[in-house]
Amino acid sequence: MKSIKILVLLFGTVMSMLPSGRTLAQSNSSAIVEDARKAIAASNELYWQAYAKNDASLFVNRYAEDCWIMTPNAPTVCGPDAVGSFFQASYSKFGIRNGKFITVDVYGISEDIVAEIGFWKVYDAGNAEFDDGKYLVLWKKTSNGWKMWRDSFNSNHSKKN
């Protein structure tokens, strides 16, 4: 009996941690994921247009207000102001001028959270690829549509000193 109470308590705790009161299994999951997949594809195009245009606001608008960018070998970047600084550094210091996301899949987690996994490539002003890697992004459905909420990525190449 005690183990059943613990199991029920554990299940309730896990369910309360979900961002939405209903799990994806309780909703029309394929419609939610398809809606998110289309929004993600459109947002990913705008993400790289921001670099082509040197437009920090276009870049920042891809992210939720409470976002995190978890970069390799650096502290986590949190919130719109830090995301703007991240864009400026990646544009000015690293020379990113364009890129490409290759989405492998989008998975539903809840009604308002989906996960995207894939690969990325970045290009310099001469359109030469200078880095590539993989990523995992949790997208959050906000009042302004699907936004990047937790963004984590790393390079396929070792860090140059």
Where are the chain's structural domains?
Answer: 28-155
Joined tokens for residue 116:
């995207």
Q: Please tell me the distance from the alpha carbon of residue 1 to that of residue 61, in angstroms, as a whole number.
A: 51
Please provide the CATH number assigned to the domain covering 28-155.
Answer: 3.10.450.50
Q: pLDDT tens digit string along 123-149? A: 999 999 999 999 999 999 999 999 999
Of 17-26, 77-86, 123-132, give the lowest mean pLDDT range: 17-26
The reported pTM is 0.81
Task: Tell me which residue of 49, 76, 58 sits closest to 150, measured CA to CA.
Answer: 76
Least Cα distance to 153 among 33, 69, 62, 40 occurs for 69
- Could you count the other beta carbons within 10 Å of the beta carbon of residue 156? 11
101, two tokens: 């996301």
120 near 100, Cβ under 8 Å?
A: yes
SS3 helix, strand, coil % of the chain, rounded to 5? 40, 35, 25
Q: Are 99 and 48 in contact (CB under 8 A)?
A: yes
Owner of token pair 């993400």 = 47
pLDDT in tens, 56-76: 999 999 999 999 999 999 999
- CA dist., res. 152 & res. 86, Å (int): 13
Question: Residue 161's pLDDT is what?
Answer: 58
